[in-house]
Amino acid sequence: MPDSPRPPTTDEPPEALARGVVAACADCDVCRTMLVDGECPVFGALYRLHDREAEGRGPITGEDLRGMVGLCTFCGLCGCADIRGKIIAAKTGFVAREGLRFSLRALSDVGRLGKICGAFPGLVNRLAADGCLGALAKRLVGIHRERRLPEIPGEDFDAWVRRRGLHRPTTDDGRPKVAYFVGCSGRFLFPAVPRAAVALLEAAGAAVFVPAQVCCGMPTLLEGDREKSLNLARANAARLARLVDDDFTVVTSCPTCGYVLRNLWRERAYFSEAYQARSGGDAEFLRVPGEGPAADDGGFVRLRRSMYGKILRDDGYFAPVDPLARIRVGENVRDLGEYLRATGGLRRAATQMEAPPGRLVYFAPCHQREQKIGRPYQELLAAIPGINLTLVDGAYDCCGTGGLMGFKKDFHRQSLALGRPLAEKLLSLRPDRVVTDCLSCRLQLRQMTPYPVSHPLEVLAQPGECGAAGPA
Ligand code: SF4
Ligand code: SF4
């Protein structure tokens, strides 16, 4: 069973949910020492508010609670999945009741923003480079004035896909069929990364199809816009489930997209009545995938409804999306590094590669770590003879950007504080290049450190094969 956080839906007022989090965490106190020291702004705010009220220096207000839950980037560093689930639920509740500012709606609609910028790349780049106009544009969409913006590429990945004909489904020719879920940052900001992905997948013998797709929904989930997140999930789930039925493996090079599709979508879907009707559940028992001595030969466990039926229900964040589609896709999504590691060919090819120059530090991003698939890219890179590679993947290492949250003017400073321990670790290692598979981390590390940052695919792809030449 997936063990990812569960953003629950609830009829409880958001203030009550957030209050419950303050009470639980003040009582437990573990994160006071573990996470207030720059690692998480939520716990810093939570304990400040709790102590202020407990010491009679002022009650915790609704505005305080709204501000506190607004700081959560859903990074997963804290100990309790249900606590971060409640924080996101409270954030969602505030937005459902009070709405979302235009600038936040615009900024979190990454797909639309990417398409608009991609239609006029020259103009957008000139605007961003102009001191006065750039500052004005940032203010209009709520981006902090000190944020470095990535350059919009002259040709986005979607245009390249159409030129290569990869938007047409592959016919059955005996090769393994891969449906590539790219992710917005790769599609609109760093197309060299998905081009490298396609080159490596084709070299591994896969027939690659890039289906129509929309944002995975993490940016809108983080801003509390559940309606938009669900609409995005419905569109992706319907398309991807049809492809899984047609023997495609869904592969993604974005750890956050993988985390959403694989972990968050599936969360609690196994308890849905639609799944129970398929899996052999009945009026007395739920039948769900499981391990251990209680599991039957098919890898299922039976849970008595009279004991668990009230709490084990498909009532999580993505519950309104077809549970069978969520399960079919979630069970058939692979991280691209994981897929390439399993095929074996790239590891053999890596043993023949020339080592990239200098010292490389590979940072395993939070949402990659949350998928519990080991460190496939580190393993593949380590197979290159003579490579100088160091791994950074501490339990509290986080870049702090939270997707687009770090770009917002009212979260910029907290985002940098959250990422500072990681940035300091990297600075102490003095790499020639940082390597990470998360393109949001890439944006943040380019903001916070002087090093070039690459996706592992750009290191592993042969130069010239896909235009994936340089770090950025
Ligand atoms: S998140 Fe969990 S571990 Fe951390 S303080 Fe709250 S209850 Fe304790
Ligand atoms: S920001 Fe990360 S560590 Fe802090 S509450 Fe949210 S998920 Fe937990």
Residues 361 and 453 in one domain: yes
Report phi then psi at 8, rounded to 5: -80, 155
Q: Would the CB of 28 count as within 6 Å of ligand 1?
A: yes
Alpha carbons within 13 angstroms on the beta-carbon side of residue 414 total 21
Task: Say how far apart CA 340 and CA 363 lie, in whole Å.
Answer: 18
The pair of structure tokens assigned to 147 is 């944020």
Q: Tally Cβ neighbours within 10 Å of residue 139.
A: 13
Encoded tokens for 304: 């008595």
Beta strands in 52-193 (DSSP E): 177-181
Please check whether residues 24 and 92 belong to one and the same domain: yes
The reply to whether 125 and 23 lie within a common domain is no
Q: How far apart are the first and last CA of the chain?
A: 38
C-alpha angle with apex 468: 465 to 471, nearest 5 degrees?
150
Q: Do both 456 and 370 map to the same domain?
A: yes
Domain contains 92: yes
Here the CATH number for the domain that contains residue 380 is 3.40.50
Whether ligand 1 lies within 6 angstroms of the CB of 31 is answered as: yes
Could you state, in chain order, the average pLDDT of each consecutive group of 10 residues for the chain (472 residues)? 47 90 93 70 91 96 95 83 89 89 77 80 80 78 86 92 93 92 95 96 95 94 92 97 97 96 93 96 94 89 92 91 98 96 88 93 92 93 96 87 84 88 94 96 94 95 50 39
Nearest CA-CA partner of 214 in 242, 234, 198, 244 = 234
Give residue-wise pLDDT tens across range 384-428.
Answer: 999 999 999 888 888 988 877 888 888 888 889 889 989 999 999
Q: pTM of the full predicted structure?
A: 0.90
| List of residues 6+ apart from 133 with CB closer than 8 A | 127
Domain enclosing residue 116, as ranges: 103-141
pLDDT tens by residue, 433-472 = 999 999 999 999 999 999 999 999 999 996 544 434 333 4
Strand locations in 276-372 (E): 285-289, 300-304, 333-335, 359-363
Say if 443 falls within a structural domain. yes
Report if residue 70 sits inside a domain.
yes
Output the CA 400–ligand 1 centroid distance in Å.
Answer: 19
In this structure, the answer to whether residues 53 and 110 fall within a common structural domain is no
Is there a single domain that holds both residue 393 and residue 448? yes
Ligand with minimal distance to 418 CA: 2
Task: Return the pLDDT at 464.
Answer: 46
Q: How many domains does the chain have?
A: 3
Distance between CA atoms of residues 330 and 250, nearest Å: 9
22 lines ligand 1 (CB under 6 A): no
pLDDT at 32: 84
Q: Is 242 exposed, middle or buried (0-12, 13-18, 19+ CB in 10 A)?
A: middle
Which residue, of 115, 141, 167, is where some domain finishes?
A: 141
The closest-lying atom of ligand 2 relative to the alpha carbon of residue 5 is 7
Distance from the alpha carbon of residue 371 to the mean position of ligand 2, in angstroms: 17
Extract the tokens encoding 369: 């770590």
Q: Is 209 among the domain residues?
A: no
Regarding whether 404 and 438 lie in a shared domain, the answer is yes
